[in-house]
Amino acid sequence: MLIGLGLTMALAVPLASATNYYVVTSSQQPSPPTSLWTNWGLAHTNLIEVVAAARDYDTVYVTNNAIYYLTNQITVSDAITVRSWGPGGILDPTNTIIDANYPNAATTNRHFTLSNYWATLAGFTLTNGWDTSYESNSASGGSIYIYYGTVSNCIIMRNYALNPHSTYQRAGGGGIFMGLNTANSGGVWNCTISGNSAWKTGGGIIIYNGGPWQVANCTISDNSAIGAANSGGGIFATSSSAAASIISNCWVVSNYSQNYAGGIYLGYPLQCHNSLIMGNTASGYEGGGVRMAGASLLRNCLVVSNFAQAASGGGVYAGNGNPLIQNCTISSNVSGAAGGGFFFSWSDGFPKIENTIIWGNRGSGINSNWYISRTDPALTMVTFTNCLTSPNIVHACASAVNTITNDPRYVNAATGDFRLQSDSPCINAGVNRDWMEGARDFYGNRRIDNFRKTVDIGACEYLGKGTLFRVY
């Protein structure tokens, strides 16, 4: 589906006169005129100058097996494509490296700013970027700042947005900053975002306003949000726009936040689908894996082995508003306080949890799997529908229908296999919803098949041995 969208966008670009430009690390050719840069034999060595010369619908090809050192940020304000060129013309992010020179104080900068809806960046390793802005209200982005545009097939590693002077949430995005204004939109696809750091929010990525945004098929790992009152070691995502932005088919793994949301901070109206959220840590406050707020949505996700070191919600912390959790598996998470799996504590809010397993989590005190700290049902009511958890849900601020308290019977939780065994009580025990028609589970299997017709509880549908196939 995401690939199809990308092709649709590409085909929608008007077929105008276009020029191909070529960049190498060394050349016999002088810099001017730009007509000399239009084949490999006459390629230029300065990527900044070539991108500045390109106009709408042009493509800039950058040869692989090279490191390009930047002395300034590259701004892509036209509808151009900047991409690597490997053997046979394929993308080669591993061997096409753009280095932004950190910690060289004289030349350090972020790599790219994209500010055109059809701007495309593809197939690079981007490293040693640093956001050098110190205005208190500035947006950041250690490697890339996207107003509009698309980044795909890139490795974004060891970049920094460390602005200790800012008091704004948006001063973050160690790897990528997306948004700022309500009209901004774009996407990040098939990328690895790893080892980046932010002082405020979004060690790997920050999505702040605008939309729709898409982050799809990405690995977001080993990023950190390290300053005071920060959030979202892997991703910080929130928007004032009503346009739904979606994080999908991602691995959000081993990220760290000094305060909230080790893996993902998911604010209104952001959604996270079919993603692995594993091994993340929030050392100071809630939400080792995910911290949800507003009308955010977590669907078909595996939330496992996360840690809220000093507070609650090792797996998921649900805050203010009306977040929705559907068909997730929340297991093997740990918190230093109550609610190792799921925790809700806010003055008002009406979260809903459907078809979800909350099992095998650990926390201090009672109710290691789930905990609700509110006492006024007029202001707070958490609704559980067709869920599996323990102990049974009895609470003044909770409503539960069709709760199962038996072992979910995973294949092997100790090795990280949270699929269901054939005798699992979760099989055919969920409640069907309209969104499930044609939808896929965490592993890509159909949510509702042609035989049993009823969804399972958890992120993973059971597939028995000898599964039948229908031939059309």
Taking only the tens place, the pLDDT of each residue in 11-29 is: 344 445 799 999 998 876 5
Strands of 190-296 (E only): list them: 192-194, 197-198, 205-208, 213-216, 219-221, 224-225, 235-238, 246-248, 251-253, 256-257, 264-266, 271-273, 276-278, 281-282, 290-292
Other beta carbons within 10 angstroms of residue 401's beta carbon come to: 12
- Mean pLDDT score, 142-164: 92
Residue written as token pair 């690939």: 3
- pLDDT on residue 357: 98
Question: Would you say residue 295 lies in a domain?
Answer: yes
- Structure confidence at residue 168 as a pLDDT band (50, 70, 90): low
Ramachandran category for residue 226: left, alpha or beta (phi over 0 → left; psi -120 to 50 → alpha): alpha
- Mean pLDDT score, 435-462: 92
- Structure confidence at residue 33 as a pLDDT band (50, 70, 90): low
- pLDDT on residue 28: 60
Of 400, 403, 424, 404, nearest to 412 by C-alpha is 424
Six-digit token pair at 6? 């990308």
Question: Cα(21)–Cα(71) distance, rounded to whole angstroms?
Answer: 20
Question: Cα(227)–Cα(142) distance, rounded to whole angstroms?
Answer: 15
Sequence length of the chain is: 472
Residue 127 has pLDDT above 80, yes or no: yes
What's the pLDDT tens digit per position in 217-252? Answer: 999 999 999 876 678 999 999 988 877 799 999 999
Cβ–Cβ under 8 Å, residues 262 and 226: no
- Structure confidence at residue 136 as a pLDDT band (50, 70, 90): very low
- Structure confidence at residue 5 as a pLDDT band (50, 70, 90): very low
CA 273 to each of CA 98, 169, 444: distance values in angstroms, whole numbers, following the listed order: 31, 24, 12
Residue 138 has pLDDT above 70, yes or no: no
Residue 445 has pLDDT above 50, yes or no: yes
Strands 342-344 and 370-372: parallel
Question: Would you say residue 164 lies in a domain?
Answer: yes
Residue 422 has pLDDT above 80, yes or no: yes
Percent of the chain with pLDDT over 90: 69
Residue 34 has pLDDT above 70, yes or no: no
Residue 108 has pLDDT above 50, yes or no: yes
- Structure confidence at residue 132 as a pLDDT band (50, 70, 90): low
Cβ–Cβ under 8 Å, residues 206 and 234: no
Buried-state track 195-210, b at ≥16 Cβ within 10 A, e below 16: bbbbbbbbbbbbbbbb
- pLDDT on residue 60: 97
- Mean pLDDT score, 168-190: 86
61 vs 42, which has greater pLDDT?
A: 61
- pLDDT on residue 116: 96
Of 325, 309, 315, 300, nearest to 359 by C-alpha is 315
Percent of the chain with pLDDT over 70: 89
- pLDDT on residue 457: 98
- pLDDT on residue 266: 95
Mean pLDDT score of the chain: 89
Longest dimension (CA), the chain: 77
3-class DSSP assignment, residue 230? coil
3-class DSSP assignment, residue 71? coil
Residue 170 has pLDDT above 70, yes or no: no
Question: Would you say residue 11 lies in a domain?
Answer: no
- pLDDT on residue 180: 82
- pLDDT on residue 8: 35
The residue range of the domain holding 271 is 56-401
Q: Which helix (H) or strand (E) holds 11?
A: helix 2-12
Question: Would you say residue 331 lies in a domain?
Answer: yes
Question: Would you say residue 12 lies in a domain?
Answer: no
Amino acid at site 191: C
Termini Cα distance of the chain: 22
253 vs 470, which has greater pLDDT?
A: 253
Question: Would you say residue 15 lies in a domain?
Answer: no
What's the pLDDT tens digit per position in 326-353? Answer: 999 999 999 999 899 999 987 777 899 9
Buried-state track 24-38, b at ≥16 Cβ within 10 A, e below 16: beebeeeeeeeeebe
CATH code of the domain covering residue 322:
2.160.20.10
Cβ–Cβ under 8 Å, residues 252 and 275: yes
Cβ–Cβ under 8 Å, residues 124 and 85: no
The mean-pLDDT minimum among 179-193, 259-273, 277-291, 337-351 falls in 337-351
- Backbone Cα Rg of the chain: 23
Residue 423 has pLDDT above 50, yes or no: yes
Other beta carbons within 10 angstroms of residue 154's beta carbon come to: 31
Question: Would you say residue 31 lies in a domain?
Answer: no
Question: Cα(222)–Cα(217) distance, rounded to whole angstroms?
Answer: 17
- Mean pLDDT score, 198-207: 92
Looking at the structure of the chain, the number of domains it has is: 1
Cβ–Cβ under 8 Å, residues 84 and 124: yes
- Structure confidence at residue 382 as a pLDDT band (50, 70, 90): very high
Q: Which helix (H) or strand (E) holds 70?
A: none
The mean-pLDDT minimum among 73-82, 146-155, 363-372 falls in 363-372
Question: Would you say residue 43 lies in a domain?
Answer: no
Amino acid at site 265: Y
- Structure confidence at residue 88 as a pLDDT band (50, 70, 90): very high
